Structure formats: structure tokens, C-alpha cells
Structure 1
Amino acid sequence: MSSQQRLFELDALRGLSLLGIILMNILEFSFPYEQVNLSEVLVGSNAAILHVVTLFVIGSFYPIFAFLFGYGLRIMYDNSQRKGLNYYPLIYRRLTFLMVLGLIHGMFIFSGDILFGYALTGMIAVLFIQSKTKSLVKGALILFSLKIILLVAPFAISSLLNDPYEQINYTGIPLSTLIEYNQNGNYLEFLKVNVIESIYSIIDVIFGSAYFEYLPYILIGMTAQKLNLVRKIQQQNQAAIKWGIICLSVGYLIKLPYALDYANHSYQLISTIGGPIVAAGYILLFIAVYQYTKAARLLKVFTYLGKLSLSVYLSQSVILTFIFMGVGLGLYDKLPLYQSYAIALTLYVVQIFACYGYLKYFKLGPMEWIWRKFTYLK
């Protein structure tokens, strides 16, 4: 399989992960998802939707994005070696740009930004870009194990023994005030909340998430590129399908308690173990199914977004902020969940058509073009 074809498949996987990202982010855009007792505010069809999304989506798509990020870091390393370029100045310029962009995005548009976290973690990961595959895998497994031992187990047990449904307000802003700001506030009021939430997010990344939530999957992505995962799956398609199904079965089983009781913070912590396992299943099955011609024709639609992933991700934030926040239409906490998801899916489909039309005339998205210019300084 040629490099171009492999990238084509990974573009499709990246496009699929963007679907998962918007299905997660719409929860934070549309209502105070993290500040309320979900079992009290969601009933009927809205509750059913969240049960499904919690099982199949939440916690299972950011690892795919991190995996692909690590894969891309290794591709850039190989390309730089082939062209005789110095890798580290290139990659640190690239990651610095992404970090600054993430800070701007998080502070001024959407506090749930992931770009800053990926950029910071990428700066750590590239220090091991030349490591052997066994060392990369060992490092990822050690970090994942430490996450379970140091974070998941003690906090899950503590939450279960006390009150697993207790709501913790980290911002200090009363819920009623938060809703009022997001529904009717001007941009300065919106910014006040967004900056506070972003600061907490940045602190979390610097002191925890970078090492336990992102780095293991970026290291696995780097390993996959070194091992030429796509070619191996092509050669052992049935084995990939088998292991994909096993990963999904185990991951869903671990996530099931949280999917059934999504207001339980103890189950939420335990679910963070199952999410990445489900992500591994999605990756294996997606690439394996892509080997079939008819399936590839259908899945090709995801490549349009995958090739423009940075522009698509940022545009989703801008559009959803306008729809739900007081700086735009102010629909925050006014719509039933099924209508919010209808908006998210409609936006995603519109973006597919927009990207398809755009790629007829341009090879790079607007943000991708700027990012590339900053990386190579030409």
C-alpha cells in the first residue's frame, strides 16, 4: 500500500473522530453538562440519547485523535529525515503554533479546547521519537497503569464511599448565573466564564492530563506508524477484525455502568479505562473494514473533513458558540437534547459538503495553510 493510500485511510479515520468530537462537545455547548445532576434534568428520549452517547462516544474518540496526532508526528519525522531537514526546529515551531492557537481558541471561543493539550503533550512525545517500538509501548502501558493506580482507583473509591452524585463547582459561579451569562450575556460576560474554565483546563493539562490522558495514546500512535499499522491490518484483516471486536466488547463492558448511570462520578472515572479500549476497537475495525472496496466508497466521505481537520474543528466551535451562547442566538439550556444533537449532526453533514467543494479547488484548509507556513517558514 502506498504512502498516499495510507494517509487517505487515516484522513478518513480523522474525519470519523471529528464526528465523535462534535457529539461530545455539543453536550458542553448546549447546556450545563458538567454542573448539573444529569439524572434529574434529563428524562425520556433525552435520557435515552445520553445513555447511547455515553456508551459509544464519550471518552472513546479523543484517544483516536491523540493516536492520529502521534502517527502524524512520526510521519513528519520520516519526511524530515528523507528530505535532510532538521526535525526538531520544524516540529517545535509546529507545536508552538498549535499551542498558541489552542490558548486563543480555549480562552475566547470554547473552554473545552483540546489543541493546547495535544501541543504540550506533543512537545514531550517528540523527545522519544527515535525510541524503539517496545520502549514506546512500555511507556504507554506504564502511564496507563499509573493513571489507574494513582487517579482512577483512589478517586473512584472515595467518590463511591461518599456521594458519587455530588456536584463540584470549580468555577465558583452559581449555576443560575452561568446559565444567564450563556443565554443573554454580552461577550465580556461570556469571556469571564470562558477564561475561568480555560484556566482550570490548562492547569489540568499541565499537571495531569498531558501525561495520563494524551501521552499514552500519542506514543501508541508513534508506534503504529513505525510498525506500519495500515499495511499489517491489510495483510491480517481478519485478525484485526477479531481484535477490534474483542476491544469493543471489553471496553463497552467497562463503560456500561457509567452509560446506565451517567450521573455517577465514580462510574465516570472507571469509564476512563474503557474509553481508550473502545477507541482501539474503533481504529482496528475502521481500518479493517476500509479494505473492502464497497465499504471504502462509503467511508470516503470522512476523508473530506479529515484533510481539513483543524479548520473543521475550529469552525465547529465558532458556529456552535454563535448558536448556543448569548453572543449569538442564545439557545443555551433552551433546547431538548435531541434537538441539540440534530443541530450537531446537521452541521457535520453541511461540513462534509463544504469540505468536498473546497477540496476541488484547494489542497489545504485555511488554518492548515497558515500552520504549514509557520512550520516551514516558507
Structure 2
Amino acid sequence: MSIGTGERIATLDIVRGVAVMGILAMNIVAFADVPAAYFNPLAQTVAVRTGDLFAYAGNFLLFDGKMRGLFSFLFGASLLLMSETMALGRVRRRLFWLLLFGAAHFFLIWWGDILVTYAAIGFLALAFRNASPRALVVTAVVLILVQCAIFAGMTLYSLDLQGPVFAGTATPEQLKSWEELTRDTIMPSTARRAEAIALYQGPWTALVHHQVTEKAMFPVVGTFAFGWETLAYMLLGMAALKTGLLTGAWDNRRLLTWALVCLAVALPVYLVALRFLFRSEWAASAVFMWAFAAAAPVRPIMVTAFACLIILATRRGGPLVERIAAAGRAAFSNYLGTSIVMTGIFYGWGLGLYASLGRMELLLVVIAAWAVMLLWSKPWLERFRYGPLEWAWRSLTNWRVEPLRR
């Protein structure tokens, strides 16, 4: 089917703007502290306070996985829209350049890049552009079940190791496997934490060397491990565009009904998961079971609820909504720009605040970054056609310097 323009663009930009802002709330801990602190609040380097636990709980319910899912949702919808308005070869060139941007982001700026995965999975998603909404949803469900099976396998593996490790009967091989499994997801050893702090508070050249020599395969492994879910979200985004959710075609009653039903299904699962995580004090098996395996099947339902609520809440427009839409139009610049600013704040080549702030203080950093996104995006786009990196991406895709000024 052919998709109209007009309100579609505004709706997509608004939801994308919320997503790119929300992704920072999700990623801020990964910028600022050891990787395990993202999944386990007790793993943060500074002393854990009650406020940090509340911040973790809010992040788990509102942002963790949902903003990434929403961003993937929008990416799939944008792919479908591009495939209807430009030649398929040009769409593939855009994905190729996105892959290169992502690789540069990963090796030169930050280890948490998602662009490589998006580009690689995007090539696969294009094959589904002519599928019906029903076929897209069914395929997405199958992919999510595969992702759940992978997470369930991780849970069983952690249980298999956890018993002998805690009983003191683990073999050297089991201890090594346990350390490799938990150092970046549950709790790093003292030595591992010291190594991470020294690395990220050290010179930029050491970081690049580490990425090239120690983590070069990380994007590939991550794509194979988590790409099933990413492709599912992209297909659901295509379905959402084709059914009118992301074009602004749904009326308020339909949006509210879907949001309430989806929340009624997904939110209780997240609340139960949160309870078990707190009770277990983020034991490995609990994290893999509740934060990964149990959350995976309900996360797309939560993403759908959020999309409906965002569209419903912003439908009347206004100055703030206009600024959010502008942040969405410049989402590529905001995403990569955020990585540069955040690593500049926390890494040794900048202010060197790595491993020195708790989750409560990090919320203030997030709010300040949101303010910057909202302040710069709109005036920039009033003077220029595209965000700076959107312009570079478009120029490279078309292999000519595109006009930038209005």
C-alpha cells in the first residue's frame, strides 16, 4: 500500500524524538560506570543509596529495552517509507553508510553502538516490505520466541554454573565460565572493576586499541545474539505504519484502548520481574530469567502501549511537541552527538567522571542532555534542511554534496 505524507511525518518524528531522548535514560549508566551496573544497581562503583534503587526501578519499568524497542520500531517504519519513495538500491546504500557510521561509532567513540546491528538487520527487514500487516506480526512473534529461547538458554546456563560456584565445588573451567558470564552483567571482580576504571579514565588511544584488539567481534556477536528481537521490532514498526498507528490515522479512543490493554498485559509482568530481581539481589539466574527471558515476550507489547500514549499525548501539538519532533528529525545527530558528549563527560579524554556518580546524579545529567537536544534541534532545522549528520549521511548516500541551508 502507498503511505501518505503530511501527518505521518509529524507523528514519526515525535515518536522518534521521544525514543532518542529515552535511549539516553537507558544508556546513561553504561556510559558512566562498569557494564554490570546497567543490569545490577548493586554493581555501581559508588555506594548504593535508596534513591539509586528507586532510579533503577523507574528505569527498568519505563526505559530499559522499551526505548531501544521503540527506536527499532521507528527504524522499521522508516525503512518501509523509504522503500516506497526511493529506489531500493539507494535504500541499501543508506544502510551501507549507516553500517560504516556505526563501526566508526563503536571503534572510536563508544562500545554500546546499535547502528551496526540496525544496518545489518535492516538489510533483512527490507525483504519483508511487501508483506501484509498480519504476516509481519506473525513473523515478529516467531522471532521473539526465538529470542526468548536464547534468553532461556542463558538462564539455564547460569543456573548450571551458579550451583557449584556458590557451593564451592566448581572446577577451574566452571569458575572461568562464571566470571566470563557475570563480569559484565552481574558483578565484576575487584580486579575487573579496577581494569575498567583505568581503561575508561585513561587516554582515548588506549580505548580505541581496546576496542580493536579486545572487542572487535562484539557488534557481530551482539547482532547474532539479539538481532532476532531487533528484526521483530522493525517488522512490527512496518505493520504499525501500514495499519495507520504511526501515520496518525488512529482516533483517540482506539489509541487509548490499545494503550490500556497493552499496559494491562505487560506492566504486571514487569512489576513481578522487578520484585524478584530485588528479592534475589540480582542473582545471575534471576537477572537472566526476569530481565531477559521474561521481559522479551512482553516488551513489544509495552512498546506498542508507549507508542499509542506518545501519539495521544502529543496530538494537540504545542511548542514542546514541536521541539520533540525536531529532536526526532535530527535523531541521528542527537544519538551520535550524545555519545560524544557523554564520553566527554565520563571518559578520561574529557572530564573523567567515570565511576564517580550514582544513578540519582546520572538522572540530572540525562535531564540536562534532554534540554540540550530540545534547545538546539528546532533552531538548527529552522535554518538548515537536515541535522548535520543527517546531511552527511544523505550526501554520502547520493555521492554528492546535498544543499544544507534552507
- Report the TM-score when normalising by structure 1: 0.89
Question: Take 1:145 and 1:182, find their aligned partners in 2: how far apart are those partners?
Answer: 36
Q: CA shift at 1:27, angstroms?
A: 0.7
CA displacement, residues 161-209 of structure 1 (integer Å, 9 cap, x when unaligned): 75499762369982211112222x1112222444467535313234222
Aligned partner (choices 214, 217, 221) of residue 230 of structure 2? 214
Aligned pairs for 1:33-44 (under 5 A) are 33-34=35-36, 38-39=41-42, 41=44, 42-44=48-50
SS at match of 2:142: helix
Aligned residue in 2 for 1:204: 221
Aligned pairs for 1:19-58 (under 5 A) are 19-34=21-36, 38-39=41-42, 41=44, 42-58=48-64
Matched, 1:180 2:198: yes
Question: Take 2:63 and 2:50, find their aligned partners in 1: how far apart are those partners?
Answer: 20
Aligned residue in 2 for 1:268: 291
> What RMSD, in angstroms, separates the aligned Cα atoms of the two structures?
2.6
Paired residues of 1:111 and 1:195 also in contact (CA < 8 A): no
Matched, 1:247 2:262: yes
Matched, 1:288 2:288: no
Aligned residue in 2 for 1:134: 134
Gaps of 5+ in 2: 167-177, 401-406
Question: Take 2:299 and 2:18, find their aligned partners in 1: how far apart are those partners?
Answer: 16
CA displacement, residues 113-140 of structure 1 (integer Å, 9 cap, x when unaligned): 1111100000111122222333222211
Q: Percent identity?
A: 26
Question: Take 2:94 and 2:4, find their aligned partners in 1: how far apart are those partners?
Answer: 26
> Against the structure 1 CA distance between its residues 127 and 182, is the aligned structure 2 distance closer, same or farther, given a 3 Å change threshold?
same
CA displacement, residues 334-354 of structure 1 (integer Å, 9 cap, x when unaligned): 122211221121011012111
Aligned residue in 2 for 1:14: 16
Matched, 1:189 2:206: yes
Question: Take 1:118 and 1:314, find their aligned partners in 2: how far apart are those partners?
Answer: 14
Question: Take 2:59 and 2:223, find their aligned partners in 1: how far apart are those partners?
Answer: 28
Gaps of 5+ in 1: 81-86
Paired residues of 2:323 and 2:377 also in contact (CA < 8 A): no
SS at match of 1:61: helix
Q: CA shift at 1:9, angstroms?
A: 1.4
SS at match of 1:3: coil
Question: Take 2:25 and 2:214, find their aligned partners in 1: how far apart are those partners?
Answer: 20
Paired residues of 1:112 and 1:198 also in contact (CA < 8 A): no
Aligned pairs for 1:277-356 (under 5 A) are 277-291=301-315, 293=316, 298-356=320-378
Question: Take 1:244 and 1:182, find their aligned partners in 2: how far apart are those partners?
Answer: 41
Aligned residue in 2 for 1:83: none
> Against the structure 1 CA distance between its residues 230 and 215, is the aligned structure 2 distance closer, same or farther, given a 3 Å change threshold?
closer
- Report the TM-score when normalising by structure 2: 0.83
Letter paired with 2:41: L
Question: Take 1:175 and 1:372, find their aligned partners in 2: how far apart are those partners?
Answer: 41
Moved more, 158-167 or 7-16: 158-167
Question: Take 1:335 and 1:356, find their aligned partners in 2: how far apart are those partners?
Answer: 31
Question: Take 1:235 and 1:18, find their aligned partners in 2: how far apart are those partners?
Answer: 23
Paired residues of 1:247 and 1:277 also in contact (CA < 8 A): yes
Matched, 1:151 2:169: no
Q: CA shift at 1:217, angstroms?
A: 0.9
> Against the structure 1 CA distance between its residues 163 and 249, is the aligned structure 2 distance closer, same or farther, given a 3 Å change threshold?
farther
Question: Take 1:160 and 1:247, find their aligned partners in 2: how far apart are those partners?
Answer: 31
Q: CA shift at 1:62, angstroms?
A: 0.8
Letter paired with 2:200: N
Q: CA shift at 1:158, angstroms?
A: 4.5
> Against the structure 1 CA distance between its residues 197 and 347, is the aligned structure 2 distance closer, same or farther, given a 3 Å change threshold?
farther
Aligned length: 366
Aligned residue in 2 for 1:84: none
Letter paired with 2:196: L
Q: CA shift at 1:298, angstroms?
A: 4.1
> Against the structure 1 CA distance between its residues 73 and 31, is the aligned structure 2 distance closer, same or farther, given a 3 Å change threshold?
same
